[in-house]
Structure 1
Amino acid sequence: MKKISLILSFVLFTVMGASAQIERPVTWSYAAKKISKTEAVVYIKATMESGWHIYSQTLKPGGPQPTKFSFAPSKDYTLVGKTTEPKATTYFDENFKMNVSYFGNQVVFQQKIKLNKATVIVKGKVEFMVCNDEKCLPPEEISFSVSVK
C-alpha cells in the first residue's frame, strides 16, 4: 500500500509540474554587421511558434503592448535613427476596438549605429507582448548583448 501511495504521489507531482511550465513561444536572436569602418547594423530577430505573434513598435495607446527597444548608453557607439521594422500585418481587433499591427512566424528589427571604436558590445532590452487567437501572455522584457567586430 505504501508503494502505491508513493507512485501516485510521484505521478501527481509530475503532472502538476508539467502543467505549470512557463510558455515561451518567442525566441530571440541577435547579430551585427559592419557596413563601413564607422557604421554597423544590429539585427534583432524574433521567431514565434506557430499561431503566436508579437506587435509592431508603432501601435497607438489603448491596445496591446507594442514592442519596445531600449539601448544602454555607451561611449563606444551612437544610435543612428530609430529601430526599424518591416511592414507588419494590420487588422481591426475586436478586443481592443482598434487597428493593430503584428508579426507572425518571424521578424527582424534593425538598429543602425555609428561606431566610435573598432569593436563594441551593444547592450539593450526588448519589451514585447505575445498573443495567439486564444490568449495573450503578460508583457516580457529580455536583455540582449551583441558584439560588433
Structure 2
Amino acid sequence: MKKLILTALSFILSTAAFSQILTPVKWSYAAKKIDSEQAIVFIKATIDKGWHIYSQHLADGGPIKTSLKFEKNDNYIVVGNTTEPKPVSKYEKSFSMNVQYFEQSVIFQQKVKLKSGQASVNGTINFMACNDKQCLPPDDVEFNIPVK
C-alpha cells in the first residue's frame, strides 16, 4: 500500500513539475516619431498557430475584448483611439454571436503627443486567448515603450 501511495505521489509531483503554463501570445513594442511633438507607438501580438485574440470592438455578451489602457503621464498625451487592422469576423456558437478576432499577429497603433520631445509610454493590455478547444483566463500585460 505504501508503495502504491509513493508511486502515485511521485507521478503527481513529476507531472506538476513538467506541466507548462500556456502562453500562446507574445507581446513586443516599438515607437516611431512623426516629428518633434508626435509619435506612434506600436504594440504587436504574435499569436501561436491555432490560437486567436479578440478585437477591441466586440458587442457585449461575448468574449473578453482586447483593451489597451495608457497611464497618464506629464510627458505625453494620448491622441485619439488605438487603431487596429481589420479582424477576422466569424460566428461562434459558444457565444451565439459574430465575433472579431486576430490570428498569427496583430499590431495595435496609438498616436501620442510628446510634451518634451521624448517620453516613456506606459500602460496595460488586457486580452483573452482562445483556440477551438478552450479559452484561457483573461490576462494583463504591462508595457513600457520608450519614445526618443
Common fold: TM-score over 0.5: yes
In the other structure, the counterpart of 1:117 is: 116
In the alignment, the residues of structure 2 paired with residue 100 and residue 24 of structure 1 have an alpha-carbon distance, to the nearest angstrom, of 22
- Identity percentage of aligned residues: 48
In the other structure, the counterpart of 2:34 is: 35
> Aligned pair 1:146/2:131, yes or no?
no
Displacement of 1:15: 2.3
In the other structure, the counterpart of 1:128 is: 127
Displacement of 1:119: 1.6
CA RMSD of aligned residues (A): 1.7
Once the two structures are superposed, the pairs formed by residues 41-80 of structure 1 within 5 Å of their partners are 41-80=40-79
Cα shift readout 1:86-136 (whole Å, capped 9, x = no counterpart):
000001111111110000000000000011011200000000000000000
In the alignment, the residues of structure 2 paired with residue 41 and residue 119 of structure 1 have an alpha-carbon distance, to the nearest angstrom, of 12
In the other structure, the counterpart of 1:17 is: 17
| Structure 1: unaligned runs, 5 residues or longer | 1-5
Once the two structures are superposed, the pairs formed by residues 92-111 of structure 1 within 5 Å of their partners are 92-111=91-110
| Structure 2: unaligned runs, 5 residues or longer | 1-5
In the alignment, the residues of structure 1 paired with residue 53 and residue 22 of structure 2 have an alpha-carbon distance, to the nearest angstrom, of 14
Paired residues in the alignment total: 144
In the alignment, the residues of structure 1 paired with residue 10 and residue 95 of structure 2 have an alpha-carbon distance, to the nearest angstrom, of 44
- Structure 1 residues 59 and 8 mapped into 2: Cα distance closer, same or farther (>3 Å)? closer
In the alignment, the residues of structure 2 paired with residue 17 and residue 75 of structure 1 have an alpha-carbon distance, to the nearest angstrom, of 45
Letter in 2 for 1:13: L
> Which aligned segments of 4 or more residues in structure 1 are displaced greater than 4 angstroms?
6-12
In the alignment, the residues of structure 2 paired with residue 8 and residue 102 of structure 1 have an alpha-carbon distance, to the nearest angstrom, of 42
The 3-state SS of whatever aligns with 1:59 is coil
The 3-state SS of whatever aligns with 1:114 is strand
Displacement of 1:22: 1.4
TM-score (norm 1): 0.91
